[in-house]
Structure 1
Amino acid sequence: MTPISRRLALAAPLALAGCGTVLSEQPYRPRTDWPLAPAPDLHPASRPSRKVVKVHGLDAGPALSDRGLITLEADGSIHRGYYNRWATAPADAATAALMTWLQASGDFAAVVGDGSSVTSDLTVGGTLDTLLAAPARGEARAALTLVVAKPVGIGERPLAQKRLTATAPLAGAAPADLVAAQRAALAGVLRQAVALVARFR
């Protein structure tokens, strides 16, 4: 072995040890999955109708195709969280929440989902268009385009279509603040959704 080769062989373990030190100093950041399930805050109807409502799975808007928390930056760009995300896809969570809120309203005899074979008197569907936090504006936003229809034969006859929007104040920029404000904004939309469907009870 030449003197140069000997020096390179001795230096290699030191270089590797140095790399190991750098890697070990990087903090581990686990992902956090946040539930998106705002609890209903409604006064149940004292005399529910005999109608059954079927809730179709809500579609996801263009920016809500995955679970990362969305933040609207001051320059108008969108940041999608990697370490902080919803426990389930936002549109799926909003579908489950809509069913829960309709049931809690007491306006109907039953609320069922797509997989149910029960004959329904009304159907509800639509698209979750927006769910994000905007720290620069100190708020969170939610928007849902809702369609209420009546089953007719093998199809449905639309009764109402409306885009529902709501905002909620944002207390801070920590992940827990972003989540709490978005839940509150979604609750505002769900409250409007229940009122819209109740018009046809």
Structure 2
Amino acid sequence: MNRRALITALPLLAAGCSIFPDRPYVPVRRYPLSPMRSSLQGARPGAPVLLVRLVRAVPGLQDLGLRRVLPDGSYEILVYEEWIAPPAGMVDAALRAWLQASGLFSAVVPQGSRADASLVLELQLTALEAMPAWGRARAGLSGVLLREERLASRVVDTLAVTGEAPLAPDAEAPAMALAMTQALGVAIASLETRLAPLAR
């Protein structure tokens, strides 16, 4: 084979001898996690300021992929079905917006704010998963409410809430994400109920 013929044949050889197997392209789908309170309440006069420290996530809930519980109780992360951001960060934003709309507090401020807050909420995300074999999705939060005093923080109450939403056994990823969002809304609503008598 002369040089010109070899040069002509190289593209054909490369096309037929790729070391990478052909794989179909699978697009990644991303979902928001932002439950919204159905109504907005105005704060009463003298309502306290609440500082919400950055929500953390227990091990296993830092992944972007949606989390599904299999019938044997093991967990599966859906690789091509993701939240648009780390779940704990979205829970943090949704929680502050929800509690601000509750009317329990004159302001709900994030960690790092210079506002003078008399109450501090520290929470972690303990559950956020689809459980189609059980016909539901689940979300959970736990933590403490602190009262800021001159030289120390005093624990007002320990908090643990869960929320569930219905989910069809054959649900696809978009329905799972929606059900988990609804379950988180139920959990935050339960947290609001727990905070109501303490925010005085």
- Mapped to 2, the partners of 1:117 and 1:141 lie a distance apart of 35
Q: Which residue number in structure 2 is paired with residue 70 of structure 1?
A: 67
Q: Which residue number in structure 2 is paired with residue 194 of structure 1?
A: 192
Whether the 8 Å CA contact 1:48–1:107 is kept in 2: the answer is: no
Q: Which residue number in structure 2 is paired with residue 17 of structure 1?
A: 16
Query: Which residues of structure 2 form unaligned runs of 5+?
Result: 2-8
SS at match of 1:199: helix
Give the Å deviation of 1:146. 2.9
Q: 1:21 to 1:87 in 2, by over 3 A?
A: closer
TM-score by length of 1: 0.85
- Mapped to 1, the partners of 2:76 and 2:29 lie a distance apart of 16
Whether the 8 Å CA contact 2:136–2:165 is kept in 1: the answer is: yes
Q: Which residue number in structure 2 is paired with residue 152 of structure 1?
A: 149
- Mapped to 2, the partners of 1:198 and 1:146 lie a distance apart of 16
2:35 to 34, 38, 61: 38
Give the Å deviation of 1:33. 1.9
- Mapped to 2, the partners of 1:95 and 1:22 lie a distance apart of 42
Give the Å deviation of 1:16. 4.5
- Mapped to 2, the partners of 1:108 and 1:93 lie a distance apart of 21
How is 1:1-201 mapped onto 2 (pairs within 5 angstroms)? 13=12, 16-17=15-16, 23=22, 26-42=23-39, 44=41, 47=44, 49-171=46-168, 172-201=170-199
- Report how many residues are paired: 190
1:131-174 Cα offsets, whole Å, 9 max, x none, are 00011111100110031110123431110112101111013421
- Mapped to 2, the partners of 1:48 and 1:68 lie a distance apart of 43
Whether the 8 Å CA contact 2:43–2:106 is kept in 1: the answer is: no
- Mapped to 2, the partners of 1:111 and 1:43 lie a distance apart of 14
1:96-122 Cα offsets, whole Å, 9 max, x none, are 111001111112111101121011011
Q: Which residue number in structure 1 is paired with residue 6 of structure 2?
A: none
Q: 1:81 to 1:21 in 2, by over 3 A?
A: closer
Residue identity opposite 1:182 in structure 2: M
**Deviating more after overlay: 13-22 vs 144-153:** 13-22
Query: Which residues of structure 1 form unaligned runs of 5+?
Result: 2-9
Q: State, as a whole percentage, how many aligned pairs show the same letter.
A: 34
Give the Å deviation of 1:67. 1.3
